[in-house]
Structure 1
Amino acid sequence: MALGVSTALALLYSPAHATTIRIGATPSFSDALNDIIASFQNYYIINGNLTYNVVVTTDTTDNLKSAIVSGGATGPYDLFLSSGYVSPYDLATSNPTLVVGSPFRYAIGSLMLYSTSVDISAGLPSSLTKDFVIADPATDFYGKATAQVLATTPGILTALHGDHVKTRDDIGSTFAAVDGGIYGYGFVAKSQICQYYGGAEHYVDGTYHHEYRSNNAAHPYLELALKGIKIARTRATDEEAELASFINFLTGVGTSVGTDILKQYCYKIP
C-alpha cells in the first residue's frame, strides 16, 4: 500500500515529457530573451508541471529571414523575433504560406549614444572628427534608425567625407566594439546598457550615454517597434501548445512576468 502511494505521488509531481520550440532572434534581444526563457520555463514547471525547452538562434534579421524562406515547413524556427517590423511583414506578404497569422508587436526599443570613455551625455559632439561606430543601416533596424538621426545631424557630411562613420553588421557587434574600447563612442540599443529597477533607470558607473527618442523633433526616426511572427513549421500538438504559451508569456497574456522582464531591460511595452 505504501509503495502504491509513493508511486502515485511520484507520478503526480514528475514533470511531463519535455517539448521544444525553436526561436530565431536578433542579437540586441538576446540577453532579455534568455531571461524571459528561464522565467517561462520556471513558470510552467510551477504552473502546469510542464517541461518546456526553448532553443534560440541569434543572427542578423536578413540571415534569419533567409533561413525561414529556404527551410519551408521543416525550417529551423517556430518563431521569428525581429528587432524591427519590416522583415516580419515582408515574410507575411511575400511568403504567406511560411507564416501563421500577422506580425505582433512585443516591445518598443530606443536608440542610445554610448561610450565608456568619452562624455557624450549631451549627444554627438558638434565637431565629428573622431571615428565612431553604428550598426549597418542596410542590414540592421537600429542601424536604419541611426542613419535617420545622422541625416539631421550638423557636421555629418564632414564626418562621412573624413571616413569617421564606421559600421558593424548588427547592433550586437556594434555594442561590443564600443564596450571593448575599439571606438570611443557609438550608437547602441538602450536595452544593451540600461536596467530598470527601483523606479529608475540604471547604467554602469563610469559610462556615458545619451538617448535619442524617436519622437524628438530635432532628430526623428521611425519607432523601433520590435515585432515577431509565428512560422508555419510542422509541429506536434504539444509543441504548438508550448509556442502559444510562450507568445502569451512574452506579450503579457495571462501573466505579466515576461513583460516585467522587458521593462527591466528598459523596453517600452506596446
Structure 2
Amino acid sequence: MKRTLPLIFTLFALSTAQADEIQVAVAANFTGPMQVISALFERDTGHKASLAFGATGKFYAQISNGAPFEVLLAADDETPARLVKEGNAVAGTPFTYAIGTLVLWSTDPKLVDNKGEILKKGGFKHLSIANPKAAPYGAAAMQTMSKLGIVDKLKPLFVQGENISQTHQFVSTGAAELGFVAYSQVIKNGQIGSGSGWIVPGSFYDPIRQDAVILAKGKDKPAAVALMNYLKGDKAKAVIKSFGYELR
C-alpha cells in the first residue's frame, strides 16, 4: 500500500497539470444545453469551461475590445466568420454546432394558436422580442413579422430584451403576454413543455446556424481544442438534439 501511494499522487498531479480552464462566451439561447455539456466535458476530460451567457452582438463588441474569452459559441455563423477575418479568431476552426428554431410562446395555455394567427388577430398588449441588432433570434423574429406583413402594426407593442434569455424572462414573468423565444428555452420531452406556442416555419426566417470558434486568446490552449472536439462528439450532439436544435 505504501508503494502505491506515491504512484497515485504522481498520476493525480499529472492529470491536474494537464487539466486546463477556458473562458467561453455562449449565446444566451444555448444556456441550458451548454450547462449540461460543460459538466460532461469536465467529467470526461478534466478541463473546465467557465461560461458567460449573453447576446452574440455584445460578445462580438467585447471580444473586439480585448475581452479574455477563448472560445465563442455564437447564435449565428456571421459573427465567428467576421472575427476570423478581423484576426480575433483562429482560421479554420468555425463549425456549426447547432441550428436553432424560433417559437412564438406564451405562459397562457390558450393564447397562442398553432399557426400564429394571434399575431394578426391581436388581443394582447405586449410582445417580447430580443434586440434584432445584437441577437440573431431577434433578427429572425423581425423577418417572421415582416413576412407576415405585421411589423408596423406590432412595433408599438414590443418589449425588447437585451438577449433571448431576457426576452424569455419577460414572457415567463408576465411582463409580456407572449414573445419570440428559442425553442430550446421551452422544450420538454420533445414538445413545448408549458403554456402555448407556435413553432415558426423555417421558411419564415434565415436559418439560425450557430457556429463555434476558437478565439485568438485561445489559440494555444489545448482545452479550447478539446471543447471544440467534444461539441462534435456523440454525447454533446445528443444533448443538443434533446433541446430541440437541429444538427448539420
Global fold match (TM > 0.5): yes
Confirm whether residue 11 of structure 1 aligns to residue 10 of structure 2.
Answer: yes
Residues 51-200 of structure 1 aligned to structure 2 (within 5 Å): 51-71=46-66, 75-93=67-85, 95-96=86-87, 98-102=88-92, 103-117=94-108, 118-122=110-114, 123-125=116-118, 126-130=120-124, 131-160=126-155, 163-196=156-189
Alpha-carbon distance between aligned partners in 2 of 1:234 and 1:132, rounded to the nearest angstrom: 39
- Structure 1 residues 29, 8: closer, same or farther in 2, change over 3 A? same
Contact 1:113 1:186 in 2 (8 A): yes
Alpha-carbon distance in structure 1 between the residues aligned to 2:11 and 2:71: 31
**1-side partners of 2:48 and 2:58: how far apart?**
23
**Root-mean-square deviation (Å):** 1.9
Aligned residue for 1:146, secondary structure, equals helix
- In structure 2, the partner of 1:265 is 243
Whether the 8 Å contact between 1:148 and 1:221 is mirrored in structure 2 is: yes
Question: Who wins on radius of gyration, i.e. which is larger?
Answer: 1
Q: Among all aligned residue pairs of Structure 1 and Structure 2, give the percentage whose two residues are the same amino acid.
A: 21
How far did 1:195 drift?
3.3
- Indicate if the aligned counterparts of 1:88 and 1:229 stay in contact, CA closer than 8 A: yes
Unmatched tracts of structure 1, length 5 or more: 45-50
Alignment of 1:229 with 2:217, yes or no, is no
Q: Which amino acid aligns with 1:148?
A: Q
Shift of the 13–127 alpha-carbon distance from structure 1 to 2, 3 Å rule, reads same
Secondary structure of 2:50's counterpart equals strand
Shift of 1:37: 0.3
> 2 CA distance for matches of 1:234 and 1:113?
37
Structure 2 alignment gaps of length 5 or more: none
Q: 1:60 to 1:12 in 2, by over 3 A?
A: same
Shift of 1:156: 4.1
Change over 3 Å in CA distance of 1:57–1:7 after alignment to 2: same
Answer 1 or 2: which has greater helix percent.
2
In 2 relative to 1, CA 241–155 (structure 1 residues): closer, same or farther, beyond 3 Å?
A: closer
1:36, distance to aligned residue in structure 2 (A): 0.4
Offset at 1:234? 6.0
* Partners of 1:235 and 1:104 in 2: CA distance: 16
Contact 2:69 2:218 in 1 (8 A): no
Question: TM-score, with normalisation over the residues of structure 2?
Answer: 0.89
Secondary structure of the structure 1 residue equivalent to 2:197: strand
- 1:212 partnered with 2:205: no
Q: Do 2:212 and 2:228's aligned partners in 1 also have CA atoms closer than 8 Å?
A: no
The alignment's TM-score, normalised by the length of structure 1, stands at 0.82
CA distance in 1, matches of 2:40, 2:218: 26
For 2:227, which of 246, 250, 256 is the aligned residue? 246
Shift of the alpha carbon at 1:154? 4.8
- SS of 1:138's partner is coil
In structure 2, the partner of 1:47 is none
Q: 2: CA distance between counterparts of 1:100 and 1:156? A: 38
Relative to structure 1, the CA distance from residue 6 to residue 33 in structure 2 (aligned partners, 3 Å threshold; closer, same or farther) is same
Secondary structure of the corresponding residue to residue 225 of structure 1: strand
